[in-house]
Amino acid sequence: DIQMTQSPSSLSASVGDRVSITCRASESINNYLNWYQQKPGKAPKLLIFAASTLQSGVPSRFSGSGSGTNFTLTIGSLQPEDFATFYCQQSYSTLYTFGQGTKLEIK
Amino acid sequence: EVQLVQSGAEVKKPGESLKISCQASGYTFTKYWIGWVRQMPGKGLEWMGIIYPGDFDTRYSPSFQGQVTISANMLISTVYLQWSSLKASDTAMYYCARRNQDTTGSPSDYWGQGTLVTVSS
């Protein structure tokens, strides 16, 4: 299995802050890295695919970067609706794997 | 509009069998892989396995191999996840998700609403 490690596991921030979440793969996955947002009681929602491509309808304050083994999700200016848990996912191998998640909380 | 609609919540006893479903609509069912994801209470997402309804090619993550069975019925555009003998540790929310291989990186672009499975004596 390709292991995915996210950091931090939790993060407190205020509305308007810029925050970043990192994800590291145990081996190179090129740019086969996707980011999801999950709110309590809801299914995950695709935010970014192929490391840096914004899914249709996702606000431009979300951005992704990286390739190989190191990736970053950045939220440019936090809005109240952004507080949630974020997961990275590798899609390089047929058996996808997720990072353990980063819970973004309001400070 | 692409939709994945999952079957309703289940409450079962240890040792019982169960089959939950995920019905797809709004696209050609046989042309996209569909995967299953487990989320135990208060925990993260775990990829269980995936099936290609076009030829029933099925792959399982090592942690779930032999523990569950994934199948599909092309006639009703439905994918299934089943257990032959449930354990309390199978208590979780289960999501189905479509893999979009037409998009760079093949992300899971559409998700079902989730099926809560509770296993308790």
pLDDT in tens, B13-68: 999 999 999 999 999 999 999 999 999 999 999 999 999 999 999 999 999 999 99
- Asked if B5 is an interface residue toward chain A (Cβ–Cβ < 8 A), one would say no
Q: How far apart are CA B64 and CA B13, in angstroms?
A: 20
Distance from CA of B37 to the nearest CA of A (A): 10
CB-based contact A94 B47, cutoff 8 Å: no
CA proximity to B118, closest of B85, B93, B95: B93
CB pairs under 8 A between A and B: 76
B119 close to A (CB below 8 A): no
Q: How much is the average pLDDT of A38-59?
A: 97
Q: Determine if residue A26 is left, alpha or beta; phi over 0 gives left, psi from -120 to 50 gives alpha, anything else beta.
A: alpha
> Taking 90 as the threshold, does the pLDDT of residue A107 lie above it?
no
B49-86 residues labelled b (16+ CB within 10 A) or e (exposed): bbbbbeeeeebbbeebeebbebebeeeebbbbbebeeb
pLDDT of residue A94 exceeding 90, the answer is no
Query: Which pLDDT score is estimated for B57?
Result: 96
Tokens of B78: 């439905």
**B60 contacts in chain A (CB < 8 Å):** 95
Of B61, B104, B109, the CB nearest to A46: B109
Does B105 sit within 8 Å of A34, measured CB to CB? yes
Q: Using CA atoms, how far apart are residues A97 and B38, in angstroms rounded to an integer?
A: 11
- Residue B17's CB is within 10 A of a number of other CB atoms, namely 10
